[in-house]
Amino acid sequence: ETGVTQTPRHLVMGMTNKKSLKCEQHLGHNAMYWYKQSAKKPLELMFVYSLEERVENNSVPSRFSPECPNSSHLFLHLHTLQPEDSALYLCASSQDRQSSYNSPLHFGNGTRLTVT
């Protein structure tokens, strides 16, 4: 398998549920990212990991909890979400977090999350 793989593709959860999104990259990249895409809004960066260390947290509510156990895997743990958290969650990776010049982002196909 090549590229960036996200599971599940679709997720419906209640506000009291706990669920996790999974991302795996097969590109040998050193940096991984979580983005959120809401309807008619730009992609919003949520978290950045470089060499398994979190380097960016864009004021994301604590009900979103990332985990990066190794350079190939990234999780987003979800609990007590709100209906406004319904969105497309995209995982991405790049060779180097500091240079988009020679290392553009490679995205997964996303998880479409609906919070009821």
Partner 1 sequence: DQQVKQNSPSLSVQEGRISILNCDYTNSMFDYFLWYKKYPAEGPTFLISISSIKDKNEDGRFTVFLNKSAKHLSLHIVPSQPGDSAVYFCAASANFGNEKLTFGTGTRLTIIP
48 sits near partner 1 (criterion: CB under 8 A) = yes
The answer to whether 11 touches 112, Cβ cutoff 8 Å, is yes
Binding to partner 1 by CB under 8 A, coded x per residue (else -) over 71-110, reads: -------------------x-x-x-xxxxxx-xxxxxxxx
d(CA 116, CA 99): 39
45 sits near partner 1 (criterion: CB under 8 A) = yes
| Choice between 56 and 67, CB closer to partner 1 | 56
| Choice between 57 and 82, CB closer to partner 1 | 57
β-partners of residue 87 are: 113
The answer to whether 74 touches 32, Cβ cutoff 8 Å, is yes
Residues, the chain, total? Answer: 116
The answer to whether 3 touches 26, Cβ cutoff 8 Å, is yes
Q: Token digits for 74?
A: 């990234």
Binding to partner 1 by CB under 8 A, coded x per residue (else -) over 3-42, reads: -x-x--x---------------------x-x------xxx
Which stretches of the chain bind partner 1, using CB under 8 A? 4, 6, 9, 31, 33, 40-43, 45, 48, 55-56, 90, 92, 94, 96-101, 103-110
